[in-house]
Amino acid sequence: DGGITQSPKYLFRKEGQNVTLSCEQNLNHDAMYWYRQDPGQGLRLIYYSQIVNDFQKGDIAEGYSVSREKKESFPLTVTSAQKNPTAFYLCASSRTGTGSGELFFGEGSRLTVL
Partner 1 sequence: GENVEQHPSTLSVQEGDSAVIKCTYSDSASNYFPWYKQELGKRPQLIIDIRSNVGEKKDQRIAVTLNKTAKHFSLHITETQPEDSAVYFCAASKGRGADGLTFGKGTHLIIQP
CA distances from 96 to 71, 112, 114 (A): 12, 32, 38
Residue ranges binding partner 1 (CB under 8 A):
31, 33, 40-45, 48-50, 56, 58, 90, 94, 97-100, 102-103, 105-108
Other beta carbons within 10 Å of 23:
24
Minimum CB separation of residue 69 from partner 1 in Å reads 18
Q: Which is nearer to partner 1, 49 or 82 (CB)?
A: 49
Minimum CB separation of residue 58 from partner 1 in Å reads 6
Kindly report whether the peptide bond that precedes residue 85 is cis, defined as omega within 30 degrees of 0. Answer: no
